[in-house]
Amino acid sequence: MSNESADVLAMSNTPDAIELRHLRAFVAVAEELNFSRAATRLYLSQPALSRQIRALERLVGCDLLRRSTHRVELTLAGDALLDRARSLLADLDSALATTRSVGGELVGRANRLWAPVALGAPDAEDLVGMRSAYEQMLAQAPLPAETVVLPANCGGVPALQVGADAELPRVLHLHGGGFVLGSAYGYRGLAGALAGAIGAGVLVPDYRLAPEHPFPAALDDALSAYLWMIEQGVRPEEVIFAGDSGGGGLVMSLLVALRDQGLPLPAGGVLLCPGVDMGAIADGTSPLAQHEGFSTMAKVVNWYIGDHPIDDPLIDPLVADLTGLPPLLVQMATGDPVAPGARQLVENAERDGLRVVAELYAVDTHIFQLFWSFLPEAQLALAKIGDFTEGLLGQGEARETV
């Protein structure tokens, strides 16, 4: 660091152990002056963020922040470092962005990861291969640092608890895969990112898949997992439902089922590129069923439906009365063939008096949030999920403590 002003002493050498994540953590806390918001911004738990700040302070040899129960302030040393760290990180990010190019390389990378799954032609003979391809795609998503993964048995339903520690989960995530693909193990990466964004542990049940287990097996398992959370002592108003793709549709089915059975509803629902247009997909008239990358979805959905009537509101959320359901966040992608159905869901929810936040991201990738580790739009989407759920869970004051 050069001696740029009379009140800042030059450092002869930058300690080799300082990592970029240390500087990013410091800048985030210094800009927010709040550990919980900075942790959400970086998709970290607060303990992990605090450890990174402490590591940086040990390496530079002085305190950069003053901490109290409800307040964070910069020290003089921290103030001296902040602008220089910002500049360094901005220059590095610019260099990386240029290297990756602005011509859609990152979205292209996400779509290339999808290709082996989306372009397949599943039938009863190669379903095992399709499941394997989906798991291989999911396996390329990293697990966030400091993430703990524990097995759980939720009323007979196997599941994984994913989060920063072993506390009881308050997020129930129903994974995607068109009701025939996907697993809790494969979704550890996204669940970990959600845990960091929301600031709470995530439960991912391994609900039964079609065609071996058609409707209502997946819904029954999701209900069992939620009731297990309540039995463990988590209050319904402290629970968030989340789901991606078909899992988003399953979230809506679960909400309708809980309301109809007079059971307690969660604080809200988060739908990531939800696949909800079940009737139109099943009869081949949905944009999803007509998309070249998802041309077999009609077959897949009919595997899930089995012999059950398609106009059952517990199967097709677009024919359901949504009155009385909790607030929803619906995230969509401009080039995603499930987006028209998601937009219709938003309109129906508003019609029925729900509080709905709809977000549209300029990407062509289905479940783009899976690629949070490198896709800026996915990182923004996770931050928005944190903002939405923080308001629902009333964590504002509680999460000020550092």
pLDDT at 397 over 80: no
* Length of the chain as a residue count: 402
Q: Do 224 and 154 contact (CB within 8 A), yes or no?
A: yes
Strands (E), 178-279: 202-205, 240-244, 268-272
pLDDT at 395 over 60: no
pLDDT at 125 over 80: no
- Three-class SS state of 208: coil
pLDDT at 388 over 60: yes
Task: Give which of 265, 269, 263 is closest to 242, Cα–Cα.
Answer: 269
The kind and range of the H/E element at 107 are helix 105-118
pLDDT at 398 over 70: no
- Three-class SS state of 34: coil
Using CA atoms, how far apart are residues 266 and 236, in angstroms rounded to an integer?
A: 5
Highest mean pLDDT among 123-127, 129-133, 295-299: 129-133
Task: Give which of 33, 29, 32, 90 is closest to 54, Cα–Cα.
Answer: 29
Query: What local confidence, expressed as pLDDT, does residue 39 receive?
Result: 80
Query: What local confidence, expressed as pLDDT, does residue 112 receive?
Result: 82
Q: Do 170 and 240 contact (CB within 8 A), yes or no?
A: yes
pLDDT at 107 over 50: yes
Which range among 42-51, 63-72, 89-98, 139-148 shows the weakest confidence by mean pLDDT?
Answer: 89-98
Query: What local confidence, expressed as pLDDT, does residue 7 receive?
Result: 44
Burial pattern 159-185, b for ≥16 Cβ within 10 A else e, equals bbbbbbeeeebbbbbbbbbbbbbbbbb
Count the neighbouring beta carbons within 10 Å of the beta carbon of residue 112: 10
Query: What local confidence, expressed as pLDDT, does residue 167 receive?
Result: 79
pLDDT band at 11 (very low <50, low <70, confident <90, very high): very low
Which range among 88-92, 330-334, 336-340 shows the weakest confidence by mean pLDDT?
Answer: 88-92
Q: pTM, whole model, 2 decimals? A: 0.75
pLDDT at 99 over 70: no
Highest mean pLDDT among 60-69, 222-231, 275-284: 222-231
Tens digit of pLDDT for each residue in 181-227?
A: 999 999 999 999 999 999 999 999 999 999 999 999 999 999 999 99
Residue with tokens 């928005």: 384
pLDDT band at 297 (very low <50, low <70, confident <90, very high): confident
Rounded (5°) CA angle 291-294-343: 65
Using CA atoms, how far apart are residues 22 and 56, in angstroms rounded to an integer?
A: 6
Task: Give me the domains of the chain, ranges plus CATH numbers.
Answer: 20-103 (1.10.10.10), 122-398 (3.40.50.1820)
Tens digit of pLDDT for each residue in 231-245?
A: 999 999 999 999 999
Sequence-ordered list of residues with C-beta below 8 angstroms from that of 33, at least 6 positions apart, any chain = 71, 72, 73, 74
329 vs 164, more confident: 329
